[in-house]
Amino acid sequence: MVGSNKSCMKLNLRKAYDTVNRDFVIHIMKAIGFDDWWTSRIYECISTPTFSIMVRGRPTGFIQSSRGLRQGDPLSAYLFTMVMEHFTCLMDIAEHSRKITPIFRLVKPSVSHLIYADNLLVFIKPSDEGIQSLVNILSSFEDASGLSLNKGSANAGDYDGSILV
C-alpha cells in the first residue's frame, strides 16, 4: 500500500455467532435503550439453549451452551447486528477525532467500512496513525465482544475505485 492514498481491507470474523459474549449483547441493548424487562427476557433466550448429541442413534443427554448465539435463530441476526453497531460507533469516534480518514468522505455520511454478516470491508487512508488506530479499534472490539478476526483470511490492498471481487 506504499504510495497509495486509498486502501481496502477485507476482514472476516472467526466463528462470529459462536463466540459473541452474551453479557456484551445485554450491555449493548441497555446502551441503546432497552429496559430491564426486555434485556432479562433476551438473556433468558440466549443463555439457556441445550443440545443433545446422538450416538449410534440414541440421545446421550443434554449439553448446556456456554457462549455465543444460536445460528438459525431469527433473533440471533438482530442481536449480532446490535453487536456490530458497537464496531461502527468505534469507527465513527476515530473518524471524528481524525485518527482515521475514510476514503469515501465526499458522500454523506462518509463511509469508512461496510459490514455484511461476519465480513468487514474497511476503507481508510493508509497512514501510520490510521492503521494503528484501526488495530486499536479491532483489539478493543475483540476484548469487549468476544469476537476475533480470522487472521488467515484477511486481505488488504490499494483501492483504485474499481469494483472489488
Grid coordinates standing for 109?
A: 455520511
User: pLDDT tens for residues 40-84?
Assistant: 999 999 998 777 888 888 888 888 877 899 888 899 999 999 999
User: pLDDT tens for residues 94-150?
Assistant: 999 999 888 766 667 778 888 988 899 898 888 889 889 999 999 999 999 999 998
Mean of pLDDT values over 156-162:
62
Grid coordinates standing for 83?
A: 453487536
Per-residue pLDDT, 50: 76
Per-residue pLDDT, 42: 96
Q: Distance between CA 88 and CA 109 in Å, rounded?
A: 13
Q: Distance between CA 30 and CA 86 in Å, rounded?
A: 12
User: pLDDT tens for residues 4-27?
Assistant: 677 788 899 999 889 999 999 999
130 exposed, middle or buried (CB, 10 Å; 0-12, 13-18, 19+)?
buried
Q: Distance between CA 26 and CA 28 in Å, rounded?
A: 5
Strand partners, 122: 9, 113
Q: What are phi and psi of 69, to 5 degrees?
A: -120, 150
